Amino acid sequence: MAVELIATKKAPGAVGPYSQGAKSGNMIFTSGQLPLNPENGELLTGDIQEQAKMSLNNVKAILEEAGATLEDVVKVNVFLTDVSKFSLVNEIYGEFFSNHKPARSCVEVSKLPLNGEIEIEAIAMI
């Protein structure tokens, strides 16, 4: 089965040797999205809720480029460097997934690329 690599200027470019996402058949996989501003590539710091919003908007942009929406998401993985901020992230997450509630994991990690505080990835089916 062929793999189509996904690229959009509406999400930040990859910071390494990988693509923003990949589509194979009816499945779409986004790479983990840090809260990077797609316009200038700068890492958003400070308010974890604003960071979560930026990461989720980046995921959304990649899905849309592949022909999907957040309603097509079946699984989300959230990585936090401080799990005590989970409830704050969860408030923003609920704004993006209010009616449609895909499976989700959230784990605390010791470090993320570029010293980010949050990274979010998704799997969708269309």
Q: How many whole angstroms separate alpha carbon 10 and alpha carbon 98?
A: 23
Tell me the average pLDDT across 82-100: 97
- Our measurement of the distance from residue 66's CA atom to the centroid of its chain's CA atoms, rounded to an integer in Å, reads 14
Domain ranges of the chain: 4-125
pTM: 0.96
DSSP state, 101? -
Whether residue 1 is predicted with pLDDT greater than 90 in this model: the reply is no
CATH architecture type of domain 4-125: 2-Layer Sandwich (3.30)
